[in-house]
Amino acid sequence: MRLLVAVPGSVIWLLDDTPWAKAGLAREAANRGVAPERLVFAPRLPLPDHLARHRLADLFLDTLPYNAHTTASDALWAGLPIISCPGTTFASRVAGSLLHAIGMPDLVVGSLQGYETLALRIARDRDLRAALRARLEQNRRTSALFDSARLARNIETAYRRMWEIRRAGRGPKAFSVLSRVEP
């Protein structure tokens, strides 16, 4: 709510999933001086429409203590920058891991104050938002995060290596599989 107050004209998109959550959030927004209409409740959509909707947003505000998982992957794939503040559990570190994997660790902050500060900076700076989108688009094309062909090659190589070890009569052993990025 502080971000909505600090950025006039901004809205937040939320999942329109349960009427009681929608009513409670609208009530709490009003209690904090935010017009309830600035909470946009979006229904579930088929994946192509869901991804297209992501492209219309400026920034994805990750949640804490439970981070976005598949939704974060969807947002990054659609070109929507995310900011995340990881916690101490696996469930609170997924979006941050995705941001590291796609080469945008600067969007992972260590505190709620840092999260709010970064969100405000991005919200108020059109050039920064454009630069983040451009960087995300470039990284999306070159990072291993969305390189399914490389993942398939690595898994196949790992399976071959495991079979070779087994066929040679040796027990399980650790090994690494790293393939180079194809130009």
| pLDDT single digits (tens) 51-98 | 999 999 999 999 989 999 999 999 999 999 999 999 999 999 999 999
Q: Which residues of 10-31 are buried (b: 16+ CB within 10 A; e: fewer)?
A: eebeeeeeeeeebeebbeebee
CATH top-level class of 45-146: alpha beta
Q: Tell me the residue length of the chain.
A: 183
Task: Look at residue 150 and tell me whether its pLDDT is greater than 80.
Answer: yes
Stated as kind and residue range, the H or E segment containing 33 is: none
Task: Look at residue 148 and tell me whether its pLDDT is greater than 90.
Answer: no
Please tell me the predicted confidence (pLDDT) of residue 144. Answer: 84
The 3-state DSSP class for residue 99 equals helix
Chain region(s) in the chain for CATH 3.40.50.2000: 45-146
Task: Look at residue 110 and tell me whether its pLDDT is greater than 70.
Answer: yes
Two tokens, residue 176 = 């690494």
Task: Look at residue 182 and tell me whether its pLDDT is greater than 60.
Answer: no
